[in-house]
Chain A
Amino acid sequence: MDVTMTYATQGIWTWWIAIYLYFGGLGAATLAVTFLTDMYLKPHRKLVLWGAGSGVVLLALGSLMLFTHLLDHRAVIHILNPLVLINQPTAWIAWGTQFIIWMMAWGVLYALPYVSETPALQRLPVIRQLLAQRLVRGIAGLVARHRKLVGWLAVINGVGVAVYTGLLLQSFPGVALWANPGVPLLFTVSAFSTAMAFLLLLMYTVIRDAADDVIRGLYERIDLVLIASKLVILASLFFYLQRGSESAMRSWELLWTDLGWLIGFIGFGLLVPFFLELRGVITGWATRMPIIAASVFGLTGGYLLRHYFMYAGVYAYPW
């Protein structure tokens, strides 16, 4: 049929979803990385508290974004019920919601023993009262005994959240930019990359312990690999979109003609941190500022990626 095409970007899921996806990925990956570090590299109370804390807060904020934009808030009840996974196994939001809930739950539990060891937190009224309860103390003990099990449950759910943010977009078949296997990959890698940046930022600012240099070095190296992978995925996206379907080509046009995407995201969000970190790994920096800058750029880039992804998805309508 001879058709008139209308190309349209959407105004349904906009910046607030970008934030949801960003905070979701960042929070979950941060939590997972800190717990893994704590379990296998070096028990690190501060790191866990920061990781679990920011993970939970970021996810809560992200989820709040989604929640406030619902048309019917009451009906959210249907996805809080874990049975949703049996009823709606194909819906990534169902999985995502459950991952988020359980990641937060296991994350808090994992951190619980550390909380009770932390005087600063115990001074906080609510926490003090909670910790005073027998049940809570019992649970903390239980968690301490099964630390790795709880840790892995949190990590699995965390990784789930990070992967989910990409799978969600991939499930929208009308938009070529989203509906391709590169997207979950890109989002997962990006989630972990931003988590690295976030943790590096923490470790160069609030948790400034010289003993952690190994961890820092490791994180920098991991981040380098992650950024490199992102560049590879982006390159493949570039070619996939450029010669793709109507939808793909329009997205390509939108992205690769936009300075925000080219300079903001690819330039400052990927290349600049990459080279800053590369130099850090190879020759080292005299001050911490370059890595702090790299982290801030990386974090910003993480948001930009999601922002552009939401806005540059093009529907090609045959009318």
Chain B
Amino acid sequence: MTHYAMVIDLNTCVGCNACMAACALENQTPVWDEHKWRTYVHDNEIGFGEDTHRRFFPRLCNHCDNPPCMTVCPTGATTKQPNGIVKVDQNLCMGCRACAMACPYHARVDVTYADVRRGRDFYGSDYRRRRPSVDKCSFCDHRVAKGQEPACVETCVGSARLFGDLDEPRDPVARMVASGVARPLLPHIGTRPSVYYIDDLRWRG
């Protein structure tokens, strides 16, 4: 079996936003609305007084193993593939946004009728979307199927995003996860994310 996962190493993310741009163009997201991305890189000031840090925090759908977005989805548009990827089928989705409410990671965005019209104009004859729906990161399953890395991973100038297979013990990603150095977000909620983070603050000072 394959279980795709991503490790994000906060130690080498420089907040360059290349992943956001790559994802947008690869997945034809509604870039005309600055709130609608499949992935975001936050730029936060953390710490106190002189002990201040600037942290870049990339986030995306966590491809949860126990995805609340899927359990609440009435149409069956959200599904979990055997390889761990949580997908949305634009043809089935009616856009009730229960999934967006259920997702603890703010991973879902609306693609409206207006967005689809803009998209046809913006992406031209290559526009792949046909219907409005809720959208989110797909782990670039169309690329992964061809043996490529997700667009954001491939271009990540800090090699902060790493993609791999948790079921392949020699995979560096699997090893980072198994060793506990890479950890998921909000594990107490029980979503069992497939996206893991390597902390950056422990390295400093």
Chains A and B touch (C-beta atoms under 8 A apart):
yes
A174-B103 in contact (CB<8A): yes
Query: Among the listed A66, A87, A245, which residue makes an inter-chain contact with B96, where contact means beta carbons less than 8 Å apart?
Result: A66
CA distance A8 to B40 in the complex (A): 16
Q: Mark B142-164, 1 if CB is under 8 A from A, else 0.
A: 00000000000000000000000
The size of the chain B interface, using a CB distance under 8 A, is 48
A70-B199 in contact (CB<8A): no
- In the complex, whether A13 has a CB less than 8 A from a CB of chain B is yes
B172 neighbours in A (Cβ, 8 Å): none
Beyond A72-B94, A318-B186, whether A84 also contacts B74 by CB under 8 A is yes
Q: Mark B71-111, 1 if CB is under 8 A from A, else 0.
A: 11111110000000000000111111110111111100011
A10 neighbours in B (Cβ, 8 Å): 100-101
Stretch at the interface among B16-24, B26-34, B120-128, B129-137: B129-137
State the Cβ distance, B163 to closest chain A Cβ, in Å: 20
Query: Among the listed A71, A74, A78, A319, which residue makes an inter-chain contact with B76, where contact means beta carbons less than 8 Å apart?
Result: A78
CA distance A4 to B42 in the complex (A): 11
- In the complex, whether A76 has a CB less than 8 A from a CB of chain B is yes
B91 neighbours in A (Cβ, 8 Å): 75
Interface residues of A in 54-96 (CB under 8 A from B): 66, 70-76, 78-79, 84, 87-88, 90-94
B104-A12 in contact (CB<8A): no
CA distance A75 to B95 in the complex (A): 8
A317-B95 in contact (CB<8A): no
A172-B71 in contact (CB<8A): no
B133-A71 in contact (CB<8A): yes
- In the complex, whether A124 has a CB less than 8 A from a CB of chain B is no
- In the complex, whether B185 has a CB less than 8 A from a CB of chain A is yes
A76 neighbours in B (Cβ, 8 Å): 94
B111-A93 in contact (CB<8A): no
CA distance A8 to B110 in the complex (A): 18
CA distance A317 to B104 in the complex (A): 8
- In the complex, whether A122 has a CB less than 8 A from a CB of chain B is no
A319-B94 in contact (CB<8A): no
- In the complex, whether B1 has a CB less than 8 A from a CB of chain A is no
B77 neighbours in A (Cβ, 8 Å): 75, 78
CA distance A2 to B48 in the complex (A): 13
A2-B73 in contact (CB<8A): no
A13 neighbours in B (Cβ, 8 Å): 97, 101
Q: Mark B185-196, 1 if CB is under 8 A from A, else 0.
A: 110111100000
State the Cβ distance, B192 to closest chain A Cβ, in Å: 12
B63 neighbours in A (Cβ, 8 Å): none
CA distance A10 to B97 in the complex (A): 12
B72-A72 in contact (CB<8A): no
CA distance A168 to B132 in the complex (A): 23
B106-A91 in contact (CB<8A): no
- In the complex, whether A286 has a CB less than 8 A from a CB of chain B is no
B201-A2 in contact (CB<8A): yes
A70-B95 in contact (CB<8A): yes
CA distance A47 to B15 in the complex (A): 65
Sample (30) of A-B pairs whose CB atoms are under 8 Å apart: A1-B201, A2-B201, A66-B96, A70-B95, A71-B93, A71-B95, A72-B132, A72-B133, A74-B131, A75-B75, A78-B75, A78-B94, A79-B75, A79-B94, A84-B76, A88-B74, A90-B72, A92-B74, A93-B72, A93-B96, A168-B72, A171-B102, A172-B72, A173-B102, A173-B189, A174-B102, A174-B105, A316-B186, A318-B185, A319-B42
Footprint of A on B, CB under 8 Å?
42, 44, 46, 55, 57, 59, 68, 70-77, 91-98, 100-106, 110-113, 131-134, 183, 185-186, 188-191, 197, 199, 201
